């Protein structure tokens, strides 16, 4: 599969696992993170493949999104897949959020989706092919009193609806737009102490948490499908299926 994939937040966690999976399939991968140091460390872990292009920068800036596509086209000809993975998750009662936290979530989670998707829409519509997949959150589909998180729910929930809207907008251009909504996935974002992990296991009816490969599998399905668009695919151990 000789395609070119842009992955934001590619230096760790889910983004790193997604980048690694596409590289293993022979794809060209354009990875973004805030700093070149983080990207170089990620590349070293992958064996420094020649088809892993490193483009650092703040993804909440339009210039960074544009640079991703410009560098990708210069190096590989075109972009086939965009994975909007970069994001932050801050859970706390609404009264305790700070102004800086609000700005940070809006910048990374909202602008970090909008600017790359805007560039992808123009590029892919012109080519009449492509896939855009955004990593959102299952808690945005079904909030829980166990985790007060109004800001992530606000933004990630909006991204779920924006995914459907963009899927309709780009359908005639043969561009597929979908989202994966993970539950609790074992990544460096989460504490590994047993008390925290025990609590996390209560957040799904399966009594388990996920691993990055679970999200990778969902992303690969969506970007290999020719007839799936406008879908929000939960990967959450059944947490959004109902109450239990």
Q: Which whole number is the average pLDDT over 166-174?
A: 98
Straight-line distance from the first to the last Cα atom of the chain, in angstroms, rounded to the nearest whole number: 41
**Biggest CA pair distance of the chain:** 51
Distance in angstroms (rounded) separating the CA atoms of residues 38 and 40: 6
Please count the other Cβ atoms lying within 10 Å of the Cβ belonging to residue 136: 28
The model's pLDDT over 184-234, given as tens digits with 9 standing for 90+, comes to: 998 766 667 888 899 999 999 999 999 999 999 999 999 999 999 999 999
How confident is the model at residue 169, as a pLDDT?
A: 98
In order of 94, 95, 158, 175, 190, the CA distances from 226 in angstroms are: 41, 44, 25, 9, 34
- pTM, two decimals, is 0.97
How confident is the model at residue 10, as a pLDDT?
A: 98
Architecture, CATH, for domain 4-235 = 3-Layer(aba) Sandwich (3.40)
Please count the other Cβ atoms lying within 10 Å of the Cβ belonging to residue 149: 21
How confident is the model at residue 2, as a pLDDT?
A: 87
Going by the DSSP 8-state scheme, the letter that residue 109 receives in this structure is: I
Please count the other Cβ atoms lying within 10 Å of the Cβ belonging to residue 220: 16
């Amino acid at each position: 599969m000789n395609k070119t994939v842009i992955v934001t937040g590619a230096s760790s966690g889910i983004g790193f696992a997604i980048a690694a999976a596409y590289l293993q399939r022979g794809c060209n991968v354009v990875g973004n993170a805030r700093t070149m140091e983080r990207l170089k460390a990620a590349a070293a872990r992958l064996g420094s493949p020649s088809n892993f292009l490193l483009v650092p920068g703040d993804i909440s800036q339009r210039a960074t999104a544009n640079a991703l596509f410009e560098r990708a086209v210069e190096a590989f000809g075109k972009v086939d897949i965009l994975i909007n993975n970069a994001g932050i998750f801050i859970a706390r009662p609404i009264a305790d959020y700070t102004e800086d936290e609000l700005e940070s979530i809006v910048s990374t989670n909202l602008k970090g989706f909008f600017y790359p998707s805007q560039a992808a829409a123009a590029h892919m519509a012109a080519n009449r092919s492509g896939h855009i997949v955004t990593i959102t959150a299952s808690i945005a589909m079904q909030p829980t009193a166990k985790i007060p998180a109004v800001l992530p729910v606000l933004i990630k929930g909006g991204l779920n609806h924006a995914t459907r809207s963009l899927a309709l907008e780009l359908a005639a251009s043969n561009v597929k737009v979908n989202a994966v909504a993970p539950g609790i996935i074992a990544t460096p974002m989460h504490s590994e102490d047993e008390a925290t992990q025990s609590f996390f296991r209560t957040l799904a009816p399966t009594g388990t948490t996920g691993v990055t490969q679970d999200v990778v599998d969902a992303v690969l399905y969506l970007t290999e499908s020719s007839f799936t668009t406008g879908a929000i695919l939960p990967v959450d151990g059944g947490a959004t299926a109902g109450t239990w």
